[in-house]
Amino acid sequence: MKKALALVLTLSMLVVLAACGGGANAAVAGTYKGEKAKFVGDTEWVTDEEFSIELKANGTGSFNREDTSFDLTWKLDGETFTMQEKFLGITNDYTGTLKDGVLDIFNGEPDNDLTYEYVLKLAE
C-alpha cells in the first residue's frame, strides 16, 4: 500500500512540474523589446514607437504599449506563435512567429493592408 501511495504521489508531482513550467515556454520566456512596427500595406517601418511584450513560462504575460499594459495569454507550437490580448473585456488575437529571439506578430490577417505588424527582439 505504501508503495502504491508513493507511486501516485510521485506521478502527481511530475504532472504538476510539467504543467508549471518547462519545455518550450520556459526556453522563450522573457521580455521582448519593440524594434519596429507598421501597417502591412505601408512601405516604411515605424521605429520610434515604444512597446514590449513580457512572456511568462506559464503562458501568460503582458503587451506594453502607449503607457498601457494589456494582459495576454500565448502559445508556441514549433515557431508558430499565437497570442490573445485582453483589455476591458475586449480580446484581440495575434499570430506570427518566434524564431531565434525575434517575435514577429500580426493583429489580424498577415496579408491584409490594415493589419498591424510588430517586430520585437528578446532583451539581453
The per-residue pLDDT for 88 is: 87
Which distant-in-sequence residues (6+ apart) come within 8 Å of 83 by Cβ?
A: 53, 63, 72, 73, 74, 75, 93, 94, 95, 96, 105
Tens digits of residue pLDDT in 90-124: 999 999 999 999 999 999 999 999 999 999 999 97
Q: What is the helix (H) or strand (E) element at residue 120, kind and residue range?
A: strand 116-122
Tens digits of residue pLDDT in 40-67: 999 999 999 999 999 999 999 999 998 8
Q: What is the pTM of this model?
A: 0.79
User: Architecture of 2-122 per CATH?
Assistant: Beta Barrel (2.40)
- C-alpha distance across the termini of the chain, in Å: 51
Scanning the structure block, which residue is given the C-alpha cell 510521485? 10
Question: CA–CA separation, 107 vs 20, rounded Å?
Answer: 28
